[in-house]
A and B are shown apart, each in its own frame.
Chain A
Amino acid sequence: MDLFTIFQDRLPDIATGFREHLELTFVSLFFAIIIGVPLGIILTRYRKGAEAVIGVTAVAQTIPSLALLGFMIPLMGIGFTPAVVALTIYGLLPIVRNTYTGIVGVDQAAIEAGIGMGMTSGQVLYLVEIPLALSVIMAGVRTSTVLIIGVATLASLIGAGGLGDMIFRGIAMSSNELILAGAMPAAVLAVIFDFLLKRLEVRVTPKGSRNKA
């Protein structure tokens, strides 16, 4: 069977895998952002502890992705939830680190001006720090997204579905075409998201400093 007919025959499976893959990615990314961004912001307020916390998230990322998913089975069993937990942990580091470095890197003059003009600390955060760090934070989100899309193919191994199902089935059946039927959509997904998020990153870069970037 050639690739084209496999794609035709397996279209419903590919569609299901694609949908599951997107779900895994979005849910994990969602949690990674709502944990990672505030964590990064909090760390900028407690800079002494920042290196330690970022170190811990870095260690989480050095754990091989397959091993991390494996850890989930004794702790949480198999299925969607443990996969999301593992992917969230995996996607955390780039977001925390970029949020932290982005905000730390905001021009001190802008912050001093903000405080001196009578902004509350919340206003300094929302009107100065986050807008100016947003492009760096978005770069972290983009890295995380691509990472999660990649690792999510392995989530199939703990029964969370996704495009990994096709790939592993292909490996089991020694069918290159079947492997490609899973691998190609996953690859395309990563490329598309990378492209879209890159566009978004440029959009959120403050207009005044865009030429410099």
Chain B
Amino acid sequence: MIRFQEVSKVFPDGFKALDNITFHIDEGELFVLIGPSGCGKTTTMKMINRLIEPTKGKIWIADKDISKENPVELRRSIGYVIQHIGLLPHMTIGENVALVPKLKKMDAAKYQKRVDELLSLVGLDPSIYRDRYPAELSGGQQQRVGVIRALAAEPPIILMDEPFSALDPISREQLQDELIRLQQEIKKTIVFVTHDMDEALKIADRICIMQKGKVVQLDSPEHVLRHPANDFVRSFIGEERLNAAGVLPDIEEVMLKPVTAGPNRGLAESIKLMHKHRVDSLLVTGANDAFLGIAKVWDIQQHYREEELTLKDIMTIDVPTIQIGRSLAEAIELISENKVAYLPVLSDEEKLVGVITRASLVDVMANKYGNA
């Protein structure tokens, strides 16, 4: 949807705000730009509606180079919410919300109806608030109006520049919740700038962490917490949050070494192997440890008399597996959903690297809650 291609910005005073950044924002995602002040996050956002022009590089929206678009038209097609709210004090709430549709010369009857809908959407009764002036509303109410004003002309993209940072903590929480709810309804592409990590973790689909004009890490909140790219990200997130989030260890730490057997192994041999390792199933692997299936002791028992059979004939092929980079939470979900005792762990090349069993999970839980 929005693509930055090797974008740099040097301000006239020589300050290098952005240093060759490249990334892509998907359609319909809530994309959070975060970093300490001066990291270039606001500059990055303001380039999307051409309030700031890049010194080098290109920005594409829906595969169109925005430097070739008329900036005024471009801005009218992008919603914009600013930190200081920026409602026009001489216009009523209704007039403020209707501003962009009016600038775009849309049909008045249509957008008036839309204004009422939007006010209701954020819990402001149109019959009460439409004709009031911004000064008559609380800060939280004003920023609600600021947000729906950005939605009025139905832009596909909305930019939000630290929209909730000037509000009191309670209003901030409320507006964050409302934004999440709103986003589920409207599914816009939202670019959200903040310096508040809690806010980012709460609302983001993906977080882009910036430092000194560079993108340090771009990942889902879960991955940012789990695998901070470097010490800067680690300190920016804060040990507290990392500890709070890191209650579950990685799959790698939990998984056991599997008891494996080749597909052509006979059934009697297999039973012996199971007995030796005291397990009730064998993981069947082919050449280069490729995972083929699971052979359970009950299946072997059923076919035990048929001497010519090998493991490949009686193994269960259709079993859930998990990739090694995924979170343990997902693994637990898979195990409980599918009611399986073994969850094979595969590498990126589909090689069997380990197995998670119900017993190994009990160990994790015991460690987590046992000492508490």
**Which residues from chain A sit less than 8 Å from chain B, CB to CB?**
107-110, 112-120, 123, 127-128, 131-132, 206-209, 211-212
Question: Is residue B72 contacting chain A, with contact meaning CB distance below 8 A?
Answer: yes
**Which residues from chain B sit less than 8 Å from chain A, CB to CB?**
49, 51, 72-77, 80, 82-91, 99-100, 103-104, 133-136, 149, 159
Across the interface, do B73 and A118 meet the contact criterion of CB distance under 8 Å?
A: yes
Across the interface, do A112 and B86 meet the contact criterion of CB distance under 8 Å?
A: yes
Output the least CB separation between A111 and chain B (Å).
Answer: 8
Across the interface, do A118 and B100 meet the contact criterion of CB distance under 8 Å?
A: yes
Across the interface, do B82 and A109 meet the contact criterion of CB distance under 8 Å?
A: yes
Nearest residue (CB) in A for B102 is A127
- Chain B residues with CB under 8 Å of A207's CB are 90, 133
Across the interface, do B133 and A208 meet the contact criterion of CB distance under 8 Å?
A: yes
Across the interface, do A208 and B136 meet the contact criterion of CB distance under 8 Å?
A: yes
Nearest residue (CB) in A for B70 is A118
Output the least CB separation between B273 and chain A (Å).
Answer: 69
Nearest residue (CB) in A for B99 is A117
- Chain B residues with CB under 8 Å of A110's CB are 86-89
Across the interface, do A113 and B49 meet the contact criterion of CB distance under 8 Å?
A: no
Q: Within the assembled complex, what's the spacing in Å between the Cα atoms of A69 and B82?
A: 52
Q: Within the assembled complex, what's the spacing in Å between the Cα atoms of A207 and B82?
A: 23
- Chain A residues with CB under 8 Å of B87's CB are 110, 113
Across the interface, do B86 and A113 meet the contact criterion of CB distance under 8 Å?
A: yes
- Chain A residues with CB under 8 Å of B88's CB are 110, 113-114, 127-128, 131-132
Nearest residue (CB) in A for B73 is A118
Across the interface, do B72 and A208 meet the contact criterion of CB distance under 8 Å?
A: no
Across the interface, do B90 and A118 meet the contact criterion of CB distance under 8 Å?
A: no
Across the interface, do A118 and B72 meet the contact criterion of CB distance under 8 Å?
A: yes
Output the least CB separation between A207 and chain B (Å).
Answer: 6
Output the least CB separation between A124 and chain B (Å).
Answer: 11
Output the least CB separation between A110 and chain B (Å).
Answer: 5
10 residue pairs bridging A and B, Cβ less than 8 Å apart = A109-B82, A112-B86, A113-B86, A114-B88, A116-B49, A132-B88, A132-B90, A206-B90, A209-B90, A209-B135
Ranked nearest first, the 4 interchain pairs of A and B with the lowest CB-CB distance are A113-B86, A208-B133, A206-B90, A118-B76
Across the interface, do A112 and B82 meet the contact criterion of CB distance under 8 Å?
A: yes
Output the least CB separation between A135 and chain B (Å).
Answer: 10
